[in-house]
Structure 1
Amino acid sequence: MKPPTSLTNPELSGFWMPKGVPGSNPFYMLMRRFFQVMVALGWKIRIHNRHFEPTRGGTVYICNHQSFLDPVLMSFALRRPMNFMARDTLFHVPLFKHVIAGLNAFPVRRGQADTGAMKEAMRRLKAGGQVAIFAEGTRSLDGRIGPFLPGVALLAQRAAEWIVPVVVDGAYEAWPRTQMLPSPGFSLVVEYARPIHRDEVRQMDAATFISHIRNVIVEMQTEVRRREGKPALKY
């Protein structure tokens, strides 16, 4: 197996914004540049296998969820714009709701099945966009990867052409749930797995699919931590 290719801070440049796909708006491009700089100044970042990003087609990125840094970390090295689900209460805040909408977020109700959010995600995928899913539905309590929500399988198997497992590590230490603000100086790692075509997983039942993808991400996390000289998390 070839070692992962990496993208380090000085190489965070030269991104392009394609036209005619969900999320390709100037505000998103501007804010992505801003967050690239802010994150790169605060932490040591290593991004592996950026080249696995599909060049076209609706793509679901299934990622673990360690902190509020995750959406920036897992999307800012990609060429194509990303779409996100965000809890619906954020869209009740004046002005801020326009900011997060400009960042390609759309509301989802937490703690219940939200068919509206699912339909919107499917619409963006079928239009050729990319959608990020933090499959646990909430931030980790201890850095470990929790159970995945069942809706992940429905969205990935029915609407996406490509499924890309992603692991983020180090973000929990930088910004755990118990802290109001992040701590700078930590090493943050993002790694993308090889894309899985929908035909490879379409025949799986939902439980098998979720178990398979979660196992892939857990194994990725274990390998990332080994390379970083950090102890493996126990599951």
Structure 2
Amino acid sequence: MSLYFFARSLVYVIFKPLYRIKITGLEHFPKEGAVLLCSNHIDNFDPPVVGITSPRKVHFMAKAEAFKLPILGKLLPDLGAFPVRRGMSDREALRVGLKILKEGNVLGLFPEGTRSRNGELGQGLSGAGFFALRSDALIVPCAIIGPYKAFRSLKVVYGKPVNIDELRARKASADETTELIMKEIQNLLEKNR
């Protein structure tokens, strides 16, 4: 068993009962092929929660500083994470993300780029649109509806893949594409609160 699936099982056993995680919409998640999974970001626990609720292994970008931490930095690559330097265009991170999608895997992103301080959905950065337009991935929106409080219900909702065929056809901007993805996440939040 790989470290990823061992860690996933361990986190699942702890988090599922602790946060009473309810998962809906898994029928919308493609069983194979490239998937760009885009979620809101409300807590540091979001990556493991998305990782344990997704039916497939998710590769996440993680801030480069985390890879410098003594133990965690060594484990992150085995957990499917790869580094991104925040606040600048990181060409290597973009290249790695596109490679993950080209190989038919799942790339998980939090388009806001940072956690929301008030729980409301913030503005998305152009990275989500970049990956959506530069790949053939299906874009799956995800909403995490908190709070992260012991023995209170936490919802993880997966939506239907976002159709961006029209945006791809007219070579829309990454910002416009991200905006559409963020609207789909917002819709999930509003319908499931």
TM-score bracket, shorter-length normalisation = over 0.9
SS of the equivalent of 1:68 reads: coil
Matches of 1:55 and 1:40 in 2, distance apart? 22
Residues 121-170 of structure 1 deviation map (CA, whole Å, 9 limit, x = unaligned): 00111011100000000000100010101121111111242100111110
Shift of 1:185: 2.1
1:189 to 155, 163, 174: 155
Larger % of helix: which?
2
Answer whether contact 1:160 1:198 (CA < 8 A) is retained. no
Matches of 1:212 and 1:113 in 2, distance apart? 22
Structure 1 unaligned runs (5+)?
1-24, 175-182, 226-235
1:218 to 161, 164, 186: 186
- Pairing 1:94–2:70 present: yes
Shift of 1:76: 1.3
Q: Which residue number in structure 2 is paired with residue 147 of structure 1?
A: 123
- Pairing 1:47–2:23 present: yes
- TM-score (normalizing by structure 2): 0.93
Letter in 2 for 1:73: V
Shift of 1:78: 2.5
Say how many residue pairs are matched. Answer: 191
Q: Runs ≥4 in structure 1, deviation > 4 angstroms?
A: none
In percent, how many aligned pairs have the same letter? 30
Structure 2 unaligned runs (5+)?
none
Letter in 2 for 1:184: A
- Pairing 1:120–2:88 present: no
Higher relative contact order (CA 8 A, sep 6+): 2
Q: CA RMSD in A?
A: 1.5
Decide whether aligned partners of structure 1 residues 201 and 76 sit closer, same or farther in structure 2, where only a CA change above 3 A counts.
Answer: farther
- Choose 191-200 or 39-48, whichever is displaced more: 191-200
Shift of 1:101: 1.3
SS of the equivalent of 1:159 reads: coil
Bigger Rg, structure 1 or 2: 1
Letter in 2 for 1:103: L
